[in-house]
Amino acid sequence: MIRVDRRNDKACAIAEALGQHLTPDQVPEGVCVVIGGDGYLLRAIHELGSDPVYLGLNAGYMGFLLNDVHDAGAVAQDIRDGSFDVVGVPRLQMEAVRPDGSLLRGQALNDVVLQRMSGQSSHLRVVVDGVEVVKRLSCDGIIAATALGSTAYSFSAGGPACHPALRLIQLTPICPHAPRLGTITLPMSAVIDVEVHDPARRATRVVTDHIDHAAVTRVTIQDARRDVRVAWLEGRNPTANLVRKLIHP
């Protein structure tokens, strides 16, 4: 299976070059080749679920979830031969309560984000494994990220960038005012509960990997307990990738 972000000119160019060496029926069974940016890969995972192995080819800006394409012929050969490593990466499970009391659920490979919806700051109560971390956090929101997601919104909000091989949940407030809570790094076994104070005045929405689920009053975040399988082409060094794309871009 090959999926291409047709709105992305670079993705179309890579697909055309790859197509000279690889046809869809030559892609190993169960593998989904995704050509686009990180966001396009996240959408593919949202649509197709955990069954395929996702081999992403970078046509975006950062491409932390993707493989860079320097030689389309060599990449095509590696795909045909199955010359890639498959690793399992964790996802977060989100369960939330809407203002009308109904439930919603979602999953995220990168992050689950609570964000204010108006000029009013969000006031959040944060509890981890039954322990109250903060009773009322005045902020623009809070991010629960995996190690992969730590290089995205969480990094922009001041959280540290983590190596993608780590299994963790990184909890980073967005522009915290009071108290000045910093990033907390938690094990994947942690269960995070966030309650929205005064939701009528301080409406707060939840977003999973760029999918907006609108206003909520309470959110529980934990390990989804089913990894997504991502394929890295031979020679890809995740440590060098992290340094090159974040420290020395």
CATH at residue 114: 2.60.200.30
Give yes or no: residues 143 and 80 share one domain: no
SS (H, E, C) 116-166: ECCCCCEEEEEEECCEEEEEEEEECEEEEECCCHHHCHHHHCCCCCCCCCC
Give yes or no: residues 82 and 104 share one domain: no
Choose the catalytic residue: 5, 25, 38, 140.
Answer: 38
Give yes or no: residues 47 and 108 share one domain: no
225: left (phi over 0), alpha (psi -120 to 50) or beta: left
Terminal Cα distance for the chain, rounded: 31
Q: In the chain, how many domains are there?
A: 2
Give the range of the structural domain holding residue 157, as residue numbers without chain letter.
Answer: 92-223
Instruction: Report the pLDDT value the prediction gives residue 249, as an integer from 0 to 100.
Output: 54
Give yes or no: residues 86 and 6 share one domain: yes
Model's pTM, two decimal places? Answer: 0.88
Residues 62-83: b if buried by 16+ CB within 10 A, e if exposed? ebbbbbebeebeebbebbeeee
Peptide bond into 179 cis (omega under 30): yes
**Mean pLDDT per segment of 10 residues, for the chain of length 249 residues?**
91 92 91 92 90 91 80 91 90 96 94 94 96 96 94 90 90 93 95 96 93 93 94 77 65
Sign, CA torsion 221/137/211/45: negative
Give yes or no: residues 37 and 119 share one domain: no
Owner of token pair 């307990």? 225
Give yes or no: residues 116 and 219 share one domain: yes
SS (H, E, C) 40-75: HHHHHHHHHCCCCEEEEEECCCCCCCCECCCCHHHH
Instruction: Report the pLDDT value the prediction gives residue 214, as an integer from 0 to 100.
Output: 86
Please confirm, yes or no, whether 9 is among the known catalytic residues: no
Give yes or no: residues 160 and 214 share one domain: yes
Residue among 57, 59, 92 at smallest CA distance from 228: 92
Give yes or no: residues 50 and 124 share one domain: no
